[in-house]
């Protein structure tokens, strides 16, 4: 970008280069530590050359497909501001459907301190949202990526939300433990999905298990029984066309009340089932 641009000119140049208007305001506001309203009210203010260069660099990275959340270093999820990095997936609004369903399950439980597990926690979004909304829950979060666990743990510390984080290949680290509620947003995109190249800046192993996209879901369902208390729920996020396959997996494994929930666009997004047996009476 040329020297001596005003804020309005810098934003206009970014948009002319192909950047979305909202993204342009977010990136420049983050850079200047100003709200969008300030940018609009002071659009004739000069943008110092150093800030112009930094903004130009952010614009180029965004035009290359890098998520805005990585450029800002944070993402809002279920009322929480989470730090994110390329070590973790960017939390999506659709995943809040899974959180809401999990909260409904907790509401129905007669458990003073329900044990909850989040398998494949990434940034910690689901685990931290549940701990925030259900303070009495005893929450454990697992991930196979040490880098992701570092991000999640930092989020928990910053938000003062106690969660136990474990390095684990799915259920491996919790052998012998049982839970009242298990949730997971595992990698589920098929390895040949044409949308994967557009997601190249996010960790591939968190997006796809390769193959038909169902390998992680199969493993989670197959190994769930020893870790679920009677009446416990197992809830998944999955691809828009995978609900029938996930319902089949859960039903074949012996789960009851198997059902699917839709996302904000009305697409099948989450499927879960209840492990047989009445929930046990538990004390706080």
Strands 268-274 and 256-262, by their bridges, are antiparallel
Would you tell me how many other CB atoms lie within 10 Å of the CB of residue 104?
Answer: 12
DSSP assignment letter at 120: S
Which helix (H) or strand (E) segment holds residue 93: the answer is none
User: Measuring CA to CA, which residue among 105, 180, 187 is closest to residue 140?
Assistant: 180
Which residue positions form the known binding site for substrate? Answer: 185-188
Three-state DSSP class for 273? Answer: strand
Number of H-type helices and E-type strands within the chain: 11, 9
Which residue positions form the known binding site for S-adenosyl-L-methionine? Answer: 120-124, 143, 170, 185
Which residue positions form the known binding site? Answer: 120-124, 143, 170, 185-188
Query: Alpha-carbon torsion 91, 97, 98, 104, what sign?
Result: positive
Round to whole Å and give the CA distance between 213 and 215: 6
Contacts for 104 with CB less than 8 Å, ≥ 6 apart:
none
Query: Alpha-carbon torsion 160, 166, 168, 171, what sign?
Result: negative
């Amino acid at each position: 970008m040329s020297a001596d641009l005003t804020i309005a000119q810098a934003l206009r140049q970014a948009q002319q280069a192909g950047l979305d208007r909202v993204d342009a305001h977010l990136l420049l506001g983050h850079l200047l530590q100003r709200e969008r309203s300030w940018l609009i009210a002071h659009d004739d203010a000069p943008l110092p050359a150093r800030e112009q260069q930094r903004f130009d660099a952010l614009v180029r990275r965004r035009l290359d497909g890098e998520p805005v959340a990585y450029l800002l270093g944070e993402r809002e999820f279920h009322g929480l501001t989470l730090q994110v990095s390329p070590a973790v997936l960017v939390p999506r609004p659709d995943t809040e459907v899974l959180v809401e369903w999990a909260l409904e399950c907790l509401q129905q439980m007669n458990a003073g301190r329900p044990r909850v597990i989040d398998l494949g926690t990434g940034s910690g979004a689901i685990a931290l949202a549940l701990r925030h909304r259900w303070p009495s829950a005893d929450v454990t979060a697992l991930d196979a990526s040490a880098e992701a666990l570092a991000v999640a743990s930092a989020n928990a510390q910053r938000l003062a939300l106690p969660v136990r984080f474990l390095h684990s290949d799915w259920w491996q680290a919790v052998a012998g433990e049982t839970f009242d509620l298990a949730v997971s947003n595992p990698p589920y995109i098929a390895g040949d999905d044409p949308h994967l190249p557009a997601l190249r800046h996010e960790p591939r192993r968190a997006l796809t298990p390769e193959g038909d996209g169902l390998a992680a879901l199969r493993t989670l369902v197959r190994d769930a029984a020893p870790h679920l208390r009677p009446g416990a729920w197992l809830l998944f996020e999955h691809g828009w066309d995978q609900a029938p396959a996930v319902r089949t997996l859960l039903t074949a494994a012996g789960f009851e009340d198997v059902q699917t929930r839709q996302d904000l666009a009305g697409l099948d997004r989450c499927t879960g089932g209840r492990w047989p047996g009445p929930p046990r009476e538990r004390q706080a």
